[in-house]
Structure 1
Amino acid sequence: MKPPKGIRILLVDDEPHILQFLELGLSSEGFEIKTAPDGASAVEIAPLFKPHVIILDVMMPEMDGFEAIARLKENLSYGAGIIMLTAKDEVENRVRGLTLGADDYMIKPFSFDELLARIQARLRNQFPDLLGEVVHGPFRLDDRRKEITHQDKVLELSPTEYELLKFMVMNHGIVLSKTLILDRVWGYDFGGEENIVEVYVRSLRDKLGDKEHRLIRTLRGVGYRVDLP
């Protein structure tokens, strides 16, 4: 599904071939793109360009991604979504980036389709009025009405069920751990048990008629994944 016109993405990376790859791919998807070769340039460009999503490499010369995240969060009061790009073994860096205010991360090398899914997730979470009604397979999500339709039937969902199903559908095809689900749906300060996720997933499956777990799949020891037809 092509995004509406006017969605702006800022790409920040010191590797020209990555910038070119992402710029060509995301431009063809209908996004407005600007690029920056380092954190300092991104901090200068962002207030003028006003991106909805920033895709930011961590390891860059002069001003690295961590300092850039902090500066961008200070300067962009409207809450642009920030997706970090990190190497596979940089667990501490990912934790540090999320603590500083990044919203998501991707590990290099990454799938372009997964990047698109994560961009859409950031837009839905942070700019719901921009996208309005969005269709993913048999699901129609209307964040303004807080309503999800499945196969042309409006689902009767509690507020938490709505947020959980929205998060899972918007990230369809991506494995979501219980910890990540708790952080994004219940919040970082949730003090309850992880089993609450199982309870809500069971309720969603009942309401979706997903008795065989073909729609919301369980990956034992890993998490859940929504598979769309």
Structure 2
Amino acid sequence: MLSASQPRTSRILAVDDVPDNLYLIEAILEDEGYEVILAEDGPSALSHLHRSPFDLVLLDIMMPGMDGYEVTRRIRQNQTLPFIPILLITAHEQSSVVEGLDGGADDFIRKPFDTEELLARVRSLLRLKHSIDEREAMSRQREDFVSRLTHDLRTPLVAADRMLNLFMQETFCPISSDMKEAIGAMIRSNQNLLQMVNTLLEVYRHEAGQKKLTFAPCNLREIIEEIIEELQPLAAEKGVALTADFSKWDAQSGIQSGDTTIDTIEVMGDRLELRRVVVNLLGNAIKFTEQGHITIRVFEAPSSAESASPSPNRWITIEVEDTGSGISPDDQAIIFERFRKGNHKRADSGLGLYLSRCIVEAHGGTIGAVSELGKGSTFTVKLPLHD
């Protein structure tokens, strides 16, 4: 076993249908201390890559059956493989450098090649590979640290929240109105911090592939009515009207009809996660709306939105419209990105909308926004309906 101070020997896969060419490459590279594995055709090369990791692939282009271009494309299309640099090798002048590089290759050399040039290209690509591996390892360590930190932070925050509420309820002793006001401010601040920690933890679970969604039939109308009942006091404090519209879609006019409403709006999804999306969108609307109204609409309508869903023709649309401060064009381009919160003075950590995007996309849907400064915003979520 290698010690921490001993570098790992780079493993190189050489692929060529001519055995003499393979033995020449093997001799050159092994003389430099590299571990070399040989393959005489494309399928054998792909089989090697599936079985064990490599740091570099040297790939002949002109091979019978599956040529080097096709092998390159298949390597790049396989999402389970880590990044592996590919050096294409050919003896033919007509071989297309453009096709090879567009297919995902990283460099190109022609035969007969100069030994020093081959070794220089190999060293260059191995440096690229090791640099990317180190960067990804650091990223994983950072994300693991943040995930552990946020998880550990929840315990004292939850304990503080419970203790502050006990003080507010005068469980230990009577307290003055001024003290109640101060404790109330502490409770709100603690809850805001707890919400931020919870959101950050959810983001890292999604990004790490550790978030498991439980899909079951969900009645969106029921979920939204629950959320409106919870958030209505916040909107009322600001004098903002918070309403829901469940009108049916009129196919002839192309708009919602106020004459009839939908009692059950059912989608297949994770109820808790879909609830999280709606709470975030309505909560943001209340935060950034000082006067006027906030309306959430839910309806089924034909849509041309693209999605990974196998059901592209029937969609449930959720719209959250407000008369708030609006979002600048520059901010609209980034608000669904990680830690990109926009320039509004009340903007938070920039994770809520990113998490909402992760949840919606995990359901095969899309999320977007249109807005105009001073005139409000409309956030739109589209979720696929499955027959």
- Measured against the shorter chain, the TM-score band is 0.5 to 0.7
What TM-score comes out, normalization by structure 2 length? 0.32
Aligned to 1:52: 55
Aligned to 1:42: 45
Following superposition, the deviation at residue 74 of structure 1 comes to 2.4
Following superposition, the deviation at residue 5 of structure 1 comes to 3.5
Spell out the pairing of 1:150-165 with structure 2 (5 A cutoff).
Answer: none
Residue 83 of structure 2 aligns to a residue whose secondary structure is coil
**Number of equivalenced pairs:** 130
- Bigger-Rg structure (1/2): 2
Q: Does 1:103 align with 2:103?
A: no
Aligned to 1:83: 87
Flag the structure with more relative contact order, 1 or 2, with Cα contacts below 8 A and sequence separation at least 6: 1
- Equivalents in 2 of 1:107, 1:77: separation in Å? 27
1:119-147 alpha-carbon deviations (Å, 9 max, x no partner): 1111112212779xxxxxxxxxxxx9xxx
Residues 126 and 103 (structure 1), Cα distance of their counterparts in 2 relative to 1, 3 Å cut:
same
Give the gaps of 5 or more residues in structure 2. Answer: 1-5, 139-387
Aligned to 1:31: 34
Same amino acid, percent of matched pairs: 39
1:74 pairs with 70, 74, 77, which one?
A: 77
Residue 90 of structure 1 aligns to a residue whose secondary structure is coil
- Equivalents in 2 of 1:89, 1:51: separation in Å? 29
- Equivalents in 1 of 2:8, 2:114: separation in Å? 24
2:124 pairs with 121, 125, 133, which one?
A: 121
Following superposition, the deviation at residue 42 of structure 1 comes to 0.5
Residue 120 of structure 2 aligns to a residue whose secondary structure is helix
Residues 27 and 130 (structure 1), Cα distance of their counterparts in 2 relative to 1, 3 Å cut:
farther
- Equivalents in 2 of 1:38, 1:14: separation in Å? 6
* Amino acid aligned to 1:61: P
1:16 pairs with 16, 19, 23, which one?
A: 19
8 Å CA contact 1:85–1:106 kept in 2: the answer is yes
Spell out the pairing of 1:157-196 with structure 2 (5 A cutoff).
Answer: none
- Larger CA deviation: 3-12 vs 65-74: 3-12
8 Å CA contact 1:5–1:31 kept in 2: the answer is no
